[in-house]
Structure 1
C-alpha cells in the first residue's frame, strides 16, 4: 500500500475528495453551532475558548490543531497533506459559513440544522479520511499514542481525551446539549458507513512476467 502522503495513485480523485470533505466538515460544524442544541466535544472546547478570548471559533480550531500537531513530535507521527489541510481549511470554512448562516429560530429548524450537521460531518469524515492523505491532527494524536503504547485501547484513549476537552469547553461556556449526545451516539455508525464507501483503493500493479522477474 502506498505511503499516506503518496499522490502517485489517483491524484485528482484523492485531492478532490480531500478538499470536498474538509469543506463539508467546516459547513457541518457551522450547522451544529447555529442549531444551538450542542456541539461535539472538540467544538465545545473551541467555542468555549473563542468566547473567552474573543477570537473566532475557526481561528481557535486552527490554533488548537497546530498545537495538537506539536504533540505528534514525541509520538513520531508524520503529518500528511490531509493533516495540514485539515488544520487550515476547516477553520477558514467554518468562519465563512457562520457569516452567512443564520441562527436557527424555531425548534424544528434547530433540529434540521443539527441532524444535517451530524450527517454531513459523518459524510465529510468518510471523504477526507478515505482519500488516504493523512488523518486530522486530533485523530492522529489518538492513533499515535496507541501505536506507541500497544496495550492501550484507542476507544478508551479517545474517550478520555474527548471527555477532558468537553469538560474544559463546558466550563469555558461552550454549548453542551442534546446535540452533543446525539453526535456521540451517531458519529461512530456514520463513520463506519461512509469511510469504507469513499475509501480510495490503491491501483493494482501488474505482475511482472515470470521470465522478467528481477
Structure 2
C-alpha cells in the first residue's frame, strides 16, 4: 500500500512540475493548460483552482460516457493536483523565468517538461488509485470506442487546443506537439512504468 501511495504522490508531483516547466518555456502550453490559464485569468482564479473546476466537469462527463455514477473518490486526486500545480507555479518555480533564454534552450526546457509529464502520469496511473478525471476521460473514450490510449489522448488534446484558441489562451507551436505526440508518449510511459515496476 505504501508503495502505491509513493507512486501516486511522486507521479503527480513530477507531472505538475512538467506542466509548470512547459508553461514557462513560452513555446506553447499544453492545450488544456492553455485553456485553464486563460480561463483562470478571466475569472480571477489561480491556475490550480481553475483546473479543479475543469476536472469536476470531466468527472461528470466520464459518468455520462460510462453510464456509471461519478467517481467521487477522485476528489482527493483533483484537489491534490490543483494544490501541487499551484505549489509549483507560485512556489517552487515562481521565480523561474525562461522567456529571455535562447529559443533552443526554451525548446529543450519544453521537451523536458513533456518528458516529465509523460513519466509522471505513467507513474501515478500505476498506483491504481482514482485517476484524474481527465485521464479517466482518456480511458473512458478508449473503452467506449475501442481506441488505444494514445489515440484517446490525442482526441482530448485536440479538443483542448480548439477551445484554448477560441478564448485566446497561450497556444503556440508547442501546443501542436502536445496534440500530436503527448498521447503516444504517455501510452509508452505507462507501459514502460508497468513493466519496470513489475520487475522491481
What's the counterpart of residue 197 of structure 1?
192
Is the counterpart of residue 144 in structure 1 residue 140 in structure 2?
yes
Q: Which has the higher helix share?
A: 2
Is the counterpart of residue 79 in structure 1 residue 75 in structure 2?
no
TM-aligned CA distance change 1:14 to 1:159, over 3 Å: same
- Select the residue among 33, 47, 59 that pairs with 2:49: 59
Q: CA deviation at 1:88?
A: 1.5
TM-score (norm 1): 0.76
Give 3-state SS (helix, strand or coil) of 1:55's partner.
Answer: coil
1:108-165 deviation per Cα after TM superposition (whole angstroms, max 9, x unaligned): 4422321111010011011011222233201222433554x45x64666654443232
Is the counterpart of residue 38 in structure 1 residue 28 in structure 2?
yes
Q: Please, what is the CA RMSD of the aligned residues?
A: 2.5
- Select the residue among 82, 85, 103 that pairs with 2:97: 103
TM-aligned CA distance change 1:189 to 1:50, over 3 Å: same
What's the counterpart of residue 11 of structure 2?
21
TM-aligned CA distance change 1:140 to 1:57, over 3 Å: same
1:17-65 deviation per Cα after TM superposition (whole angstroms, max 9, x unaligned): 0110011111111101111111222112111211211211111111111
Bigger Rg, which one: 1
Whether the aligned pair in 2 keeps the contact of 1:131 and 1:198 (CA below 8 Å) is no
Q: Distance in 1 between matches of 2:123 and 2:142?
A: 24
Structure 1 segments unaligned to the other structure (5+ residues): 1-10, 202-214
What's the counterpart of residue 169 of structure 2?
174
Give 3-state SS (helix, strand or coil) of 2:51's partner.
Answer: helix
